[in-house]
Structure 1
Amino acid sequence: MPPALDPPLKVALAHSVATLPRGPGLAYEPKFDGHRVVIFRYEAERVVLQARSGRIVTSAFPDLATAARDLPEGVVLDGEVVVWTGGKTDFAAVQARAAATPARAPALARRLPASYAAFDLLAEGGRDLRPLRYERRRERLVAVLGPLGPPLQAVPMTTDPDVAALWFETLTASGLEGLVVKRLDQAYRGGTRAWRKLRHTDTREAAVVGFTGSAQRPDALVLVLPDDDTPVVSRPLAPGLRLRAGAELGGLTEGSGVATAVGKGEVEYRKVPAGIVLAEVAQGTTRHALVTVERLRTAE
């Protein structure tokens, strides 16, 4: 049975809030740093994995594609791919997985196995479930994934704001980025920011995938942020960071690419392998807000 939906599919998004929303009819889910992926289960064991941007990433995650063949035909899931190392989520590792070539992907899958934290069921039995209430989709999500177990699992959910607050305060050691808050009566609205997201801080970790300017003193970095796979160009680097970036990245170049810079349009940049160098960044609340690099570190 084919799914009622096909890629490219626009995913639902969240806007940032400063405090934990409370009130009747709300659901709370933990948000981990990862790589947003939609899973489509077709007939004859065919599986397609789509990133948030619409890019097909099936070959990058052969372990998850294999696991997804156990899903019923016609199912479409929305969720987050995460890699666990040392008891916490590892954004550098999941970004390295997402950027892997088909030739390298199987070896990376063995070394850095991925998990899939599903938070929505968009189709089942060839039926589009997006118009249904979230609480109904959640019921079906748990029913579909319950018999399977890892690496495909439903994210935890609570309707108790005190439990959600406890998660927010205690799960940071596991890589919790924050919480996503949804209304129980809410339909799934792809391409809109109808959900709410509470982060611990406005500072996030991003994978460096390239730079603009010279290899010795880059002008800006090209980054991939958690929950996305579309490269973004940072603000111009501070002088000290330019020197550090040159030292870390200058010898890693592997070709060129094109990314969109806010206010400048498309710019050419030099590519570096994803997941080797990470950047701590501050970003505004909109998708196309400028990103400021605050510090760099080498992935462990």
Structure 2
Amino acid sequence: MSRVRVALAATVRTLPRAPGLAYEPKFDGHRLVILRTPDSVVLQARSGRIVTGAFPDLARAAQRLPAGTVLDGEVVVWHEGRTDFALVQRRAAATAARAPMLAQSLPASYAAFDVLELAGVDVRGRPYERRRALLVDLLLPLGPPLQPVPMTTDPELAATWYETLPASGIEGLVVKRLDQSYPAGRRAWQKLRHTDVRDAAVIGYTGTPRRPAALVLVVPGDDEAPLVSSPLSAPLRRELSETLAGRTGDAPAGAAPSPTVTAVGLGEVAYRPLDPPLSAEIRHTSLRHPPPEVLRLRTDL
């Protein structure tokens, strides 16, 4: 099965206001494509990796979709009235043995925001307004855990969402044109976030190639001094290890780390340099305290 190329969004600093726009809450979870094949269900992460085994509850719920249906959305885990990104990461990192147990204790929800194919018909070329209507008609009769995200065309209501929904774990808004086809692989949507999210250069990592611990980053616009991220999640450790295994030109796996960098709370730590650097998307409230949180590797760059 070929990888589904998902639509992307460009960051904006203020709320776009114009006729013909639609606004959706931006959930703080993991991007997930649901593919309902004639025989089964396949769950694909944004990277293209198949993660069906980590979310048996969603795979089971998606069996109710018509064969030949493809959905784009975000998987979230609700905890104490808000979405919890750390719990989503825990679900995503689950082994096949632990996944069913975690599905019971930390059930996942799927916030669907687009339909790409419906009952074998490719609808990506249709306007978003029409795709939205198809999505709602498809999912509302099914109910949780597969649900369409809320949507409004009222910018004042969208502004209210932006100010009030962060308490529920919503990190901002996604803005789309009503007449827009599905922009696979392009940054044709817009996103307005509360958190300071940006790309950084990954010049090295701590730990070993098989078990990296944290990234050494250079953030554009900072003083260009390297800084160490917070510890990587299990899915990111695995993804980085796989990426390192396919690279040439870096320090050999058996080589000891030589440069050092100052890490918050740890002092000087040794790290392994990367040449050429990688890119990562990071989130932070301040550049130094606490350390930046790595959201994902930017393998698309």
User: How far does residue 261 in structure 1 lie from its aligned partner after superposition?
Assistant: 5.9
Gaps of 5+ in 1: 1-5, 205-209, 247-257, 267-278, 284-291
State the match for 1:190 in structure 2.
184
Larger radius of gyration: 2
The residue number in structure 2 matching 1:89 is 83
1:281 and 2:284 matched:
yes
Q: Counterpart of 2:153 in 1: which secondary structure?
A: coil
Whole-angstrom CA distance in 2 between matches of 1:32 and 1:244: 35
The equivalent of 1:11 in structure 2 is: 6
**CA offsets per residue over residues 132-172 of structure 1, 9 Å max, x none?**
10000000000000100000000000000000000000111
In the TM superposition, what is the alpha-carbon distance from 1:223 to its structure 2 partner?
Answer: 4.3
What's the TM-score, normalizing by structure 1? 0.74
Matched positions, count? 250
Cα RMSD, aligned residues only? 3.5
**Structure 1 stretch displaced more, 195-204 or 212-221:** 212-221
| 1:212 Cα deviation after fit | 1.3
The letter of the residue matching 1:104 is R
Unpaired runs of 5+ residues, structure 2, are: 199-203, 217-227, 245-258, 294-301
Indicate yes or no: 2:129 matched with 1:116.
no
For 1:190 and 1:164, locate their aligned partners in 2 and report how far apart those are by CA, in whole Å: 25
Q: Judging changes above 3 Å, is the alpha-carbon distance between structure 1 residues 216 and 36 closer, same or farther for their aligned structure 2 residues?
A: closer
Change (3 A) 1:282 1:7: farther
Distance 1:146 1:218 in 2: 42
Q: Where do residues 157-196 of structure 1 align in structure 2 (5 Å cutoff)?
A: 157-196=151-190
- 1:14-33 correspondence runs (5 A): 14-33=9-28
Report the Cα offset of residue 293 of structure 1: 6.2
User: Between the two proteins, what is the percent identity of the paired residues?
Assistant: 59
The answer on whether the counterparts of 2:205 and 2:214 sit within 8 Å (CA) in structure 1 is no
TM-score by length of 2: 0.73
Given the superposition, is the C-alpha separation of residues 237 and 63 from structure 1 closer, same or farther in structure 2, using an over 3 Å criterion?
Answer: farther
**Which residue of 1 is the match for residue 128 of structure 2?**
134
Change (3 A) 1:217 1:116: closer
The answer for the alignment partner of 1:264 in structure 2 is: 277
Is the 8 Å Cα contact of residues 77 and 122 (structure 1) preserved in structure 2?
Answer: yes
Q: Distance in 2 between matches of 1:217 and 1:151?
A: 33
Distance in 2 separating the partners of 1:144 and 1:30 = 20
Q: Structure 1 residue 77: deviation in Å?
A: 0.3
